[in-house]
A and B are shown apart, each in its own frame.
Chain A
Amino acid sequence: AQSVTQLGSHVSVSEGALVLLRCNYSSSVPPYLFWYVQYPNQGLQLLLKYTSAATLVKGINGFEAEFKKSETSFHLTKPSAHMSDAAEYFCAVKTGANNLFFGTGTRLTVIP
Chain B
Amino acid sequence: GAGVSQSPSNKVTEKGKDVELRCDPISGHTALYWYRQSLGQGLEFLIYFQGNSAPDKSGLPSDRFSAERTGGSVSTLTIQRTQQEDSAVYLCASSPGLAGGSTDTQYFGPGTRLTVL
Residue of B nearest to A104 (CB): B42
Number of B interface residues in the complex (CB < 8 A): 25
- Asked if A43 and B109 sit within 8 Å, CB to CB, the answer is yes
Report if A99-B59 is in contact (Cβ < 8 Å); known contacts: A42-B110, A43-B91, A43-B110. yes
- Asked if B108 and A105 sit within 8 Å, CB to CB, the answer is no
Interface on chain B toward A: helix, strand, loop, or mixed SS? strand
Name A84-112 residues within 8 Å CB distance of B. Answer: 90, 92, 94-96, 98-105
- Asked if A103 and B42 sit within 8 Å, CB to CB, the answer is yes
Number of A interface residues in the complex (CB < 8 A): 24
CA distance A49 to B102 in the complex (A): 11
**Complex interface bits, B80-106 against A, C-beta within 8 A gives 1, otherwise 0:** 000000000001010000000011011
Apart from A43-B4, A99-B33: 17 A-B pairs, beta carbons within 8 A: A36-B108, A42-B110, A43-B109, A44-B91, A44-B108, A46-B105, A49-B103, A92-B43, A94-B103, A98-B31, A98-B48, A98-B56, A99-B45, A99-B59, A100-B33, A101-B45, A102-B43
